[in-house]
Structure 1
Amino acid sequence: MERSLERFEYVPRAEKTVRITLAPSEAPGEPIHGELFSNFLENLGASFHGGVLSQLLANPTMAEHNLPQDQRDLLNAYGRTMEQIHKLNDEERSELVNWRPRKLSTGFGSFIFDDEADDLVPLPWRIRPRGRGRGGEPGRVGPAVFLECDGDKVVLSQGIVPPIHREERYQGYVWLRAIGEGKIKVEFRKRDAVGEDDLGSPLAECQLQWPSAQWTKQKFSLAIPASSLKPFEPIDFCVTITGTGKVWIDRVILEPEDSIDGFDPDVIGLLRKLAPPILRWPGGNFASGYHFWHGIGDLDLRQTVPNPAWGGIDTNFLGTDEFIKLCRLIGSKPLICVNQGNGTAHEAAAWVEYCNGSPDTYWGRKRAENGHPEPYGVEYWEVGNEIYGPWQVGHCGAEENARRYKEWSAEMRRVDPSIKLIATGSFSDFLDREHSWNGDLRWNESLLRHGGPNLECISLHALPENHRGFPAGHTNRDIFKDLLAHVWRWERHDLPELFLQAEELRPGEDIGLAIDEWGILGAAHLPEVGNAAGAIYGALLLNMVIRLKERVRMASPNGLFHAGCLRKFGPVLYWDPQVEVLHRYSRFAGGKLWRVRCEAPSYDAPRNFTAQAVSGVPIVDAIAVQQPNGDLEIVLVNKDPEEPQSVVIESPTFGGSLQVVSAEVLSGDETLMNTPLAPNRVKFEPLKEAVQISGPSLQLEIEPSSVTCLVLRGV
């Protein structure tokens, strides 16, 4: 902990000018490790369908939707908005620049166009004419849709927004069977029909063979004519039958031809730029009810199941093999979080064997049969997620968590002794009994005492909430400053106490820390993970973990596609301001940390629901990293939402050759966010006023609520 104090020495001062003094570290230590800039992917909201996967159809397996009514209502409302966007002029679109969809239940992306679920049609499919079919029929591996044709035309359709900005050709397949006689085809049609049972204008079609009474898989391809659609314009994908037959449809897959092994090319391209060193999966809360064997083997034999954590459905289209493929595509190391909720130690060990076992082991042979004879060699494994919380499947108390970790870790290490393990810790030990989830404030202590010989790293989630426990009369900006103080409280009080406890109970064992979910949670109209406030909190959190880099083994935000994250609305890929900060900080991997002395005013923050009170919080935080090429990068964070700060930066290494290579700032109202129609309004931009160089010092003014990044050369 002494290293953190040396790396950021804070001296309170009443004078308004902030004075920063920089110096190379006398004991440089190891470079900053990239694992601090990792990420996290969970089956939540539009993370899988409508996110990383290229599959365009929601609920392709015709399953029960498992959605509460309010979620259905929002999906329909967002669909009505999407239906109109391509029809709007610039002035009308400008009225929607602040609109963006909320995070929703899983399996349906961010919107749907049709909802006939009350007529027993699987969401979001529809059948025309109405009443000529139904869902819930026995299918091949799950439910099927039944269509009946009586000498006329019957259509099963779903509205989609194809990514025509990059691809006009599409391909897929359908599982179906039939009796009687007829014709069948798949089509793209515009959604310009007038009457209730009318069909839209045709765009493309592909004839299929009328199937037998046995289930058959038929492939198809479709091409949208060039310039036939406007940006954002939705179309219908249709399965159309004519004749006098009956057809059962089990599942339909539709992808753009430029799909990269089942993943969205736009997403893969951006993830390769972000390059998270570690990618955590499958949860999150989802992990506590996930059984890995549901997501392995032939994709067409995997069953769709309810998502036990978030509502909606899990098609199991992104299982272990697909996750490993994704990690390899983007250059990330996988971190798998095993089910410590309703799972077992035997199941966790089996998962390790599936990933790392040789082909002559039971689960290693299963992996080989699934087309992957070489072991994956997954190094990082986490045992459970937030199992202290009543929101978790199989939640438990402190002693039981320690017992489970001891048992799970032993079974997993018996399969592969080389794996690195992370245990489930709890931030609520830092609170008082009234606010602690585990009540007795002994969660981490129990783990340290009774977690067994395989305990080496403890996870904590830095997830302050923005809507509970603040003093009456607190404004948004008061809440903003209090939330930012959460990081200072952790760095100067809570984490030192945890490290001291670990050293007392496990002397010489060097217990590490994984902050594998971080970000401000809560109401979207307040400072939170998805707006500018989330980016500023993220910079402070990353400053902290960099200063604690010897103890913090990895860190990741909460998460890649559901909070402070990448977002997709139909074909539009955009991202929250926090992603800008994380990407900027990822450049520090391999750099050398300099010492910072900061003289600045301070403020006090009262207790709230997720943090104790803390006093003497510096209004400005700073970090300085020297890159291998010699450039010095400095980040200044202004926590004051109202006042700019005048800053002087000095260093004995600054001389006559000093130059400012770049000076950029991310700033703005704390609740400002990027949206589908204003995707780039919160980002790093050049400083409005130049940085002044005067001898061995720099002078600049940093904006309120801001993250300012400087690159200096000639230091």
Structure 2
Amino acid sequence: MTRARITIDRDFTIADVPRRLFGSFVEHMGRCVYTGIYEPGHPTADDRGYRKDVLELVRELGPTVVRYPGGNFVSGYLWEDGIGPVAERPRRIDGAWHTIETNEFGLHEFMGWAREADVEVMEAINLGTRGVEEARALVEYANHPGGTYWSDLRRRNGAEDPFDIKLWCLGNELDGPWQIGHKTAHEYGRLAQETAKAMKLVDDSIELIAVGSSNRYMETFGSWEHTVLTHAYDEIDYISMHEYYQERSGDAASFLAEAVGMDAFIDGVVATIDAVKAAGKHTKQVDISFDEWNVWYAEGLDSADQIHQVKKEWREHPRLIEDEYSVTDAVVVGTLLNSLLRHGDRVRIANQAQLVNVIAPIRSEEGGSAWRQTIFWPFARMAALARGQILRLAVSADQIATEKFGDVDVIDAAATWSEADGRVALFVANRGLSEASEVSVDLRGLGAARVVSAEVLTIPEGGDRHTSNVESAPDAVGLVPLTGVGVQDGTVHLTLPPLSWAVVELEVAVS
């Protein structure tokens, strides 16, 4: 049995909970759009082709903002292809994923779907093969009321009222040599600056996100952010971060500690932003949009085989990186969410990539069912219960050894407090593979009246750490009651099983 002590003090807060932290991502990649969120002819499809079974799961998952339409896809995308009569839209080669894009689903269809899903839209523009004029025109098309060429075209295409999109990504991963239109930091920084100026001349209420490093192992990481921000600091509002995580060579201990790496990655980008702010004598604050993150088995499992197979021929929406997530993956995702929440003062937007089928919390089959993957549960519970203020926790825990990060706490935790609701939500994971962990939570300035709910995701009876949810067994892994949670003299006591993620909601009163 390992042990940990968590101290919560109502006066030690980090920031308000940014609702955009619980974002997702829909890219024209694989089966995310076609047979994912959109499948005319499916038994549950409505008259617009939206799969209602998937929509119900999306609403349960609870994303607040969804990034669209890419991703690598956007760097070769002509947004005009996705508007107007569907029968007149061109079929195009998508070089990013070596597929055929039918353009049956475009901006208007996505905006309609977003209204049904009750999510904010985060639109990405193509700065790979296109530039200032095309971006400016898209803002006019989407957000201008009328009386101009592009806004009147939108109205003729069936949208009388503006879409009023507030969040815009200035391209995608242009630091990466794999990207269509790859650029140096100076090239991109100047383009982002001029594009941002032009877009805000059309609508000065929009918020803009500049491209940051594709991951923290890029050779240009740090210098890329510094150069881009030096050019565009005053014109942008956020800089992006991307990172994917996977278990390598059976090193589960290091994999379960990847939130330590995420913490360090975020801290490094924050330091760079603040250095540029100070050197440039800027007064505004640029924050972070961590707009691609997830577990992705980019090496091994199905991903490499699927990508290789897709590149043999040009096809419409083939299966692509449809990872099947295990109990272990779900616990890691829970700790990554904790990391994002702990940094909510600077990470104001985050998007788990992607929403359906493609490395996603939701899976669906063409003409068939839709179901929740294991990683669905930590996201859904945090999106639902994280309210009010993020608390700054003091954690003292037994250590476990990892090859990648050295000794790390066996317990990873984050918490929020909503004074309006009188609720504390504690999100806590046991990284230990073999031992349960006894956790005590001291509440200071808050009196715990009762435990409202306590749920845990862990290895199911008869399963192991690799157990996953599949179409034939969609509920193999889920949340179950966490028993034995008690409150005594202002201290909450709980025992977490090995390899588990739990959420405990407490009703509290200010003391």
TM-score range, shorter chain: 0.7 to 0.9
Following superposition, the deviation at residue 316 of structure 1 comes to 0.7
Q: Could you say which residue in structure 2 is the equivalent of 1:277?
A: 64
CA distance in 2, matches of 1:426, 1:512: 14
What is the one-letter code of the residue matched to 2:284?
E
Q: Could you say which residue in structure 2 is the equivalent of 1:22?
A: 8
Within-5 A mapping of 1:515-554:
515-522=290-297, 523=299, 525=301, 530-554=325-349
Q: Could you say which residue in structure 1 is the equivalent of 2:227?
A: 446
What is the one-letter code of the residue matched to 1:280?
R
CA distance in 2, matches of 1:402, 1:386: 13
Q: Could you say which residue in structure 1 is the equivalent of 2:236?
A: 455
Native 8 Å contact 1:482 1:606 kept in 2: no
Matched, 1:659 2:453: no
Q: 1:24 to 1:670 in 2, by over 3 A?
A: same
Q: 1:515 to 1:441 in 2, by over 3 A?
A: closer
Following superposition, the deviation at residue 653 of structure 1 comes to 4.8
Q: 1:22 to 1:40 in 2, by over 3 A?
A: same
What is the one-letter code of the residue matched to 1:49?
Y
The match for 1:565 among 361, 364, 372 is 361
Matched, 1:707 2:501: yes
Native 8 Å contact 1:526 1:671 kept in 2: no
The CA RMSD over aligned residues, in Å, is 2.5
CA distance in 2, matches of 1:16, 1:275: 33
Q: How many residues align?
A: 481
CA distance in 2, matches of 1:692, 1:376: 49
CA distance in 2, matches of 1:714, 1:550: 24
CA distance in 1, matches of 2:237, 2:175: 19
CA distance in 1, matches of 2:146, 2:157: 11
Q: Could you say which residue in structure 2 is the equivalent of 1:237?
A: none
Matched, 1:593 2:385: no
Per-residue Cα deviation, 1:401-442 (whole angstroms, up to 9, x for no partner) = 1122112212212222221100000154x44xxxx243x751
Gaps of 5+ in 1: 1-14, 57-161, 167-257, 468-473, 608-613
Per-residue Cα deviation, 1:101-159 (whole angstroms, up to 9, x for no partner) = xxxxxxxxxxxxxxxxxxxxxxxxxxxxxxxxxxxxxxxxxxxxxxxxxxxxxxxxxxx
Higher relative contact order (CA 8 A, sep 6+): 2
Matched, 1:55 2:40: yes
Q: Could you say which residue in structure 2 is the equivalent of 1:300?
A: 87
What is the one-letter code of the residue matched to 2:226?
E
Could you state the TM-score of these two structures normalised by the residue count of structure 1?
0.63
What is the one-letter code of the residue matched to 2:180?
V
Q: Could you say which residue in structure 2 is the equivalent of 1:464?
A: 245
CA distance in 1, matches of 2:192, 2:60: 36
Q: 1:694 to 1:324 in 2, by over 3 A?
A: same
The match for 1:646 among 414, 432, 438 is 438
Q: Could you say which residue in structure 1 is the equivalent of 2:311?
A: none
The match for 2:105 among 315, 318, 322 is 318
Q: Could you say which residue in structure 1 is the equivalent of 2:372?
A: 575
Matched, 1:503 2:277: yes
Q: Could you say which residue in structure 2 is the equivalent of 1:374?
A: 161
CA distance in 2, matches of 1:295, 1:595: 45
CA distance in 1, matches of 2:23, 2:135: 23
Q: 1:637 to 1:388 in 2, by over 3 A?
A: same
Native 8 Å contact 1:653 1:696 kept in 2: no
Q: 1:368 to 1:526 in 2, by over 3 A?
A: closer
Gaps of 5+ in 2: 304-322
Native 8 Å contact 1:484 1:639 kept in 2: no
What is the one-letter code of the residue matched to 2:10?
P
Within-5 A mapping of 1:234-383:
259-383=46-170
CA distance in 2, matches of 1:566, 1:675: 11
Matched, 1:625 2:400: no
Q: Which one has a bigger Cα radius of gyration? A: 1
Native 8 Å contact 2:75 2:126 kept in 1: yes
Q: 1:306 to 1:671 in 2, by over 3 A?
A: farther
Native 8 Å contact 2:173 2:212 kept in 1: yes
CA distance in 2, matches of 1:316, 1:375: 21
Q: 1:364 to 1:589 in 2, by over 3 A?
A: farther
